[in-house]
Amino acid sequence: MIEAHDLGVEVDGRWILDGVDLVAAEGSITVLVGPNGAGKSTLLDVIRGWRRPERGWSGVAGRRIAGLSPKARAAEVGWLAQSPRVRDVITVAEWLTTARFRFGEAPVAARPAIDAALGEVGMAWARDRLAHTLSGGETQRVALAALIAQEARVWLLDEPTHHLDPAAVQAVWTTLRERMRRGQTMMIVAHHLDEVSCALEPEEQAKVQVVGLGRGRVRFALGLDAPEAIASALSDLYEARLEVATIAGRARFLVVP
């Protein structure tokens, strides 16, 4: 479970987060939506312990992240940036080995976990490839493999399909869907709810919470299985008219004149 209680983050006299209260249930996906500058990425930074709030606290499974050691924090929270890039000249296997630093194991001991993680995302062929030579979509899938190898209790993902082509988007969501089925708790910043609704079966959508952030506050929290209510809430949040269209049994959220 992910918790945020009365979080406040101030930058240059402006409250980026202002009294944010949020609970994400174990084994669920929480999707954070909102305009640019609403505080979504800042919220993830606080939850993962990279930024200390001016007030309030966050935690995972009852443990406050801010006071944990790096190894203890790595056991609780895994992180995926918008556009992960590896600038060092290392192989994919070495990248995933660093993701398991909390285990304090030799590289040879990490190999089974690394091979299993790469196999899960369809990137086993890239084990000995130099990481910086991968395409954007391949890099994102290897970054997901690093999350799997880390074995953290919760995942925080900041726009995991940012700038990816449709096939790469589908590959990422295939992994996320399978991990949700296994009980992985995730919090995901997203701008396109269509990706989420199209990736999941209707019965799975009941495990997805959509949280709207605006001006540093939680404006709504609704289940993905309530698309009409979400469309109305998004219209208020973005100050644009959104309607729901059902295509192939999936809800699509459309901006209309």
Q: How far apart are CA 72 and CA 6, in angstroms?
A: 24
What integer pLDDT is reported at residue 192 of this predicted model? 84
Residue 66's pLDDT is: 80
In this predicted model, what pLDDT tens digit does every residue of 53-81 receive, in sequence order? Answer: 999 999 888 888 888 899 999 999 999 98
Residue 206 has pLDDT above 90, yes or no: no
* Residue 99 identity: A
Q: Kindly report the average pLDDT of the chain as a whole number.
A: 91
Residue type, 94: E
pLDDT of 29 > 90? The answer is yes
pLDDT over 80 (residue 84): no
Mean pLDDT over 78-95 rounds to 87
- Residues forming a β-bridge with 17: 9
Q: How many CB atoms lie within 10 A of CB 177?
A: 15
- Please give the average per-residue pLDDT across 121-129, as a whole number: 95
Neighbour tally for 139: CB within 10 Å: 23
Mean pLDDT of 174-201: 91
State mean pLDDT over 101-118: 95
C-alpha separations of 110 from 32, 49, 116, 182 in Å: 33, 26, 10, 22
pLDDT the model gives residue 47: 92
Domains and their CATH numbers in the chain = 2-82+153-255 (3.40.50.300)
Average pLDDT rounded to a whole number, residues 227-252? 91
pLDDT surpassing 80 at residue 154: yes
pLDDT at position 31 is 96
pLDDT at 85 exceeding the cut of 80: no
φ, ψ for residue 45, nearest 5 deg = -60, -40
Looking at residue 37, what is its pLDDT?
Answer: 87
pLDDT at residue 86 in the model:
78
- Specify whether the CB–CB gap between 73 and 21 falls below 8 A: no
